[in-house]
Every structure is written in C-alpha cells, then in structure tokens.
Amino acid sequence: MNETVWLLKTVLQQEHYSSSTSWNTFYIESSTLSNFNQKENKFLKKFIEEYNPSSDNFHVLDIAMGQGRNSIWLARKGYKVTGFDSSIEGIQIAKNQAKNLNLTTLQTHITTIEEFHFGFEQWDLIVCMYFPIMNETSYLRRIEQSLKYNGLLIVEVFHWDSLSDEYIIPIDVTYRTNDIPLLFSNLTILIYEEPIDYSDFGNKLTKIIRYVGQKQYSHIYS
Ligand SMILES: C[S@@+](CC[C@H](N)C(=O)[O-])C[C@H]1O[C@@H](n2cnc3c(N)ncnc32)[C@H](O)[C@@H]1O
C-alpha cells in the first residue's frame, strides 16, 4: 500500500476500515508518510494546554490510539494514559517510543473497541481521534459510563462535507453536523466546531468536526 493508503479508495472499493491488516501496513509505513500528522493532534494540544488539568491522578483513555502520537504526548505531560488499538504494529511503535523515552505512565492493549473493558467512572478524559464511532454498537453507553463525574470526551473526525471527488475518504469515517453530540447524548457539549483545517490523516484542508463533551452527572443509567 502506498502513502495514499485508505484515503484514495473509493467508497465502493474501500476495505473495511477496521481491517487490522490494512492498519498494520499503514503503521509500518507511517514514518515515511507525508500525509499523516505523526505529531499530537492540534485540537487536543490546545484543549489540554488551556484546560491544564493537574497531572495528579488524571487518567486518560486513548481509543484506537494507533501508533500513539496522542498517548505519548499526554504521557510526556505526566498524565496516566491507557490506550488500545486493534493494530499490533501501531501499538508496537507506541511501546517502542515509550521505552525510548522512559515513559512509565503509558499502558497499551491490543484489542478492539468492541472487546475493550472500559470500566465504570474511571477516566478523566477519553480521547477519540479519527475513529469511526458507530451508532449501532453498545460501546457508546460504555464510553459514557466509564467517564468519571465531570470527565471529558474529546473527538476529532471528518465532516460529511469533506467527501468530494478530488478527496475521497471512506464514507463511514465522516459525520454530519450534530451526529457526534447525538451519539453521546448523555454528555453536555462544551465545544462543538466545524472548522476548515488540515486533517491529521490526509493532510488536506477540509471540513472537520471538533467536539468536547462532559459527563455532568454521576449516576448509572440503563
Ligand atoms: C485513523 S486511525 C486513528 C489512530 C489514532 N487515533 C490517531 O489519531 O492517530 C484509526 C485507528 O483505528 C484502529 N481501529 C479500527 N477499528 C478498530 C476497532 N474495531 N477497535 C480498535 N481499533 C480499531 C485502527 O487500527 C487505527 O489505528
């Protein structure tokens, strides 16, 4: 697979986005890919720098962490970070980098979102970057339940409008306006933006969605 990876597949031709084989290939090649932002996500960085949570006991979960660009950045800031991904190659890169940096506050798991044990009221922040969050699966409620009281969920994804002839991305990683707040209907919206900015995957100026939701209740619900 060349550096266009999944971004240039047509909707009809695309392999299933969850294919770990495709993502393993992507991460093996990722250090040479010019269209993949290997640095921490800009929105996450700005949010954390402004919110500036104390690193004492601040637990972060990075959903589908990939090669760990966001997890590593957060762990370097002193937060306790757990991340998982179904790609063994992505996780291996993150583990190697954590080892080289002597980071002891990063835990990684090779698993799928369907199988990951999110726990209950455990995370101060959940990071979900460029992951196709599905409506029909039960993990949405598990994500909400696993946030602590006042816990935060930060998401960046492609907007539906980013689909175009010259810039073809899989349809199931795009969201329409308000899809993300609707998926996390039990969270309160702190930030919702639809800027035109460079996407971390594809490195194209396009419409993206940036969202932060907060759990403002502490009881469990069915
Ligand atoms: C676009 S990448 C985003 C990676 C990372 N969040 C980032 O922003 O760098 C999507 C990631 O989702 C992972 N993935 C896809 N389906 C998954 C699933 N069902 N469970 C866990 N990880 C999955 C892939 O292996 C890939 O690393």
User: What is the position in ligand 1's atom list of the atom closest to the CA of 200?
Assistant: 8
The protein residue whose alpha carbon is closest to atom 9 in ligand 1 is: 66
- Looking at residue 134, its pLDDT comes to 82
Distance CA 7, CA 1 (A): 11
Pairing of β 174-175 and β 147-159: parallel
- Looking at residue 202, its pLDDT comes to 86
List residues near ligand 1 (CB under 6 A): 18, 20, 23, 64-66, 69, 85-87, 90, 112-113, 129-131, 200-201
**Residue 92 and residue 30 in contact, taking contact as beta carbons nearer than 8 Å:** no
- Looking at residue 17, its pLDDT comes to 66
Distance CA 43, CA 180 (A): 16
Looking at the DSSP bridge assignments, the partners of residue 63 are 128
pLDDT in tens, 48-61: 999 999 988 999 99
Q: On the CB side of 120, how many CA atoms lie within 13 Å of its CA?
A: 4
pLDDT in tens, 106-148: 999 999 999 999 999 999 999 999 998 887 777 999 999 999 9
Model confidence at 7: pLDDT above 50:
no
Q: On the CB side of 5, how many CA atoms lie within 13 Å of its CA?
A: 23
Region of poorest pLDDT, from 82-86, 94-98, 136-140, 206-210 = 136-140
User: What is the position in ligand 1's atom list of the atom closest to the CA of 67?
Assistant: 9
What does pTM read for this prediction? 0.92
Tell me the average pLDDT across 32-46: 93
Mean pLDDT, the chain, as a whole number? Answer: 88
pLDDT in tens, 172-212: 788 999 999 999 999 999 999 999 999 999 888 999 999 99
User: What is the position in ligand 1's atom list of the atom closest to the CA of 128?
Assistant: 6
The single-letter DSSP state of residue 39 is S
- Looking at residue 165, its pLDDT comes to 54
Compute, in angstroms, the gap from residue 21 CA to the centroid of ligand 1: 12
Tell me the average pLDDT across 66-75: 98
Distance CA 121, CA 145 (A): 6
Domains of the chain: residue spans and CATH = 5-214 (3.40.50.150)
Task: Give 3-state DSSP helix, strand, coil % of the chain, rounded to 5.
Answer: 30, 25, 45
Other beta carbons within 10 Å of 155:
26
Compute, in angstroms, the gap from residue 114 CA to the centroid of ligand 1: 12
Region of poorest pLDDT, from 16-20, 87-91, 126-130, 205-209 = 16-20
User: What is the position in ligand 1's atom list of the atom closest to the CA of 24?
Assistant: 25
Interacting residues of 216 by C-beta distance below 8 A, sequence separation 6+:
149, 150, 187, 188
Greater model confidence, 1 or 169: 169
**Best probe residue, ligand 1, of 85, 117, 198, 210 (max atoms within 8 Å of C-beta):** 85
Reduced to 3 states (helix: H, G, I; strand: E, B; else coil), residue 222 is: coil
